[in-house]
Amino acid sequence: MKIRTRSNITLIAIAAALQCTPAIAAQANTHSNTSDSRRTPDRQEPTGSPQYQIYDIGVVHVGDTASQGFGVSPAGIAVGRSFQDNGTQAFTWTLQGGLVGLPNLAGRSYCVSNSANDNGIVVGTGATTSFGAGRLPVIWQNGVVSQLPLPAGETLGDANSVNASNVATGSVDAGSNQRGVIYSGGSATIITQTAANGSFFLTAFGINDSGRIVGQGIDPGNAARNVGIVYDIGQNMAFEVGALPGMNGALAFAVSNTGFVVGSSMLNQGSGLPFIWSDNGGMVAIPLASGTSEGSARAVNSAGWVVGDDSSAFSIPFLYDGTTTYRLADLIPPNSGWDLSMNTSSSALGISEDGVIVGTGVHNGETHAYAMVPVAPTPTPTPTPSVTPTATPTATPRITPRPRPTPRLRPTPR
């Protein structure tokens, strides 16, 4: 799997694939660089096999063609976007309140909500085209939309994650000038701290309540190598999470409030394997779902439960509970109408502290955002057996990274 995070290529493919009809939302009531795949991080042990009820988040307006789910707050506020004929509209969704459309930023008809905190603050990105032209960082407070400030001299930016203190992260600029950024207190600050070898933040994908930021970095000595980079605001320290055996780099997509970091580790720009990293345990490989050869972990909660996407011919959303990797398709009721295993559009991109999973699937032929809510484990699902990932996967990727209108161009070596 060559992971092109939120690239124009990904967005073009998604736009071509989303040919759906409308639906209405269903409602119902300090640090280590050690990489050792034999270690087990200090996570909470599972208490039983998980089982879920799945809800169709739907679309914002009748006539919208599709929707995608991009994440969920610790307490269960889901976020994403709904596709219209000439734009996209951001939304939030809760189990109790259902789907709520968020207003687009003036002059930006392609908006997406990427993250929410439990204070009701939502952040995302607005653009003028589906390919991410003119992208700006956006915040919604009490349903009112505004642009987040940009550093002096900058005209482009995005917001990818927000924590309980209303501090958000993302990036500014593009191409070789793109840099990770922190939005806080009415200002934006570029992350200038580098890792020991000089690697710097290209973009920040996640932030936790303690101010730990994770993202994609660039190694100035080897621009072909991805860098899974971490920055702790309080300690003003940046470092790499390392790589799995046989790999030389990683992408870090999310961080929990207990410090778990998840992402994908790969050799240069090659196929990736999902991992979970902790201060005490270092980097640990997450077993791949059966029938897949590559993957990426995209979200993690405080207990160390992880969701993401494995792939081979199709995209396979998964849940890892610290012991077993489950296909999400095995954890939902039979005959639900949901296809989470036989298409290239499915994903799992968020998990709440209570285990609510948010992503995208195909429901009765329509590409829609979903929310999977835990229920009592009766009957106990039979998971598809997991396989241990190897260091050299061979399949061509079909995984769909978390899509946003954000260009991602690698800088030339310095």
Which pLDDT tens digits describe the chain residue by residue (414 residues)? 444 444 332 333 333 333 333 332 333 333 334 344 334 444 443 445 689 999 999 999 999 999 999 999 999 999 999 999 999 999 999 999 999 999 999 999 999 999 999 999 999 999 999 889 999 999 999 999 999 999 999 999 999 999 999 999 999 999 999 999 999 999 999 999 999 999 999 999 999 999 999 999 999 999 999 999 999 999 999 999 999 999 999 999 999 999 999 999 999 999 999 999 999 999 999 999 999 999 999 999 999 999 999 999 999 999 999 999 999 999 999 999 999 999 999 999 999 999 999 999 999 999 999 999 999 653 334 444 444 443 333 333 333 333 333 333 333 333
Rounded to 5 degrees, φ, ψ at 95 are: -65, -35
Q: Sheet harboring 261-266: ordered strands across?
A: 249-255, 261-266, 272-278, 282-285
Distance of CA 201 to the CA centre of its chain: 17
Going by C-alpha positions, the residue among 50, 86, 131 that lies closest to residue 325 is 50
Rounded to 5 degrees, φ, ψ at 129 are: -140, 165
CB burial class (10 A; 0-12, 13-18, 19+) of residue 391? middle
d(CA 141, CA 360): 25
Tokens coding 16? 């071509």
For position 380, what pLDDT does the model report? Answer: 39
Cβ-proximal residues to 334 (8 Å cutoff; 6+ apart), any chain: none
Give the burial string for 270-295 (b: 16+ CB within 10 Å, else e).
bbbbbbbbbbebbbbbbbbbbbbbbb
Going by C-alpha positions, the residue among 158, 113, 104 that lies closest to residue 134 is 158
d(CA 393, CA 345): 21
Residue 315 CB neighbours (<10 A): 26
Q: Which uninterrupted H or E stretch holds 14? A: helix 8-17
For position 401, what pLDDT does the model report? Answer: 37
d(CA 110, CA 101): 13
d(CA 76, CA 350): 10
Beta bridge pairs of residue 124: 113, 138
For position 371, what pLDDT does the model report? Answer: 98
d(CA 60, CA 382): 35
For position 48, what pLDDT does the model report? Answer: 55
Quickly tell me which residue has 């042990």 as its tokens: 45
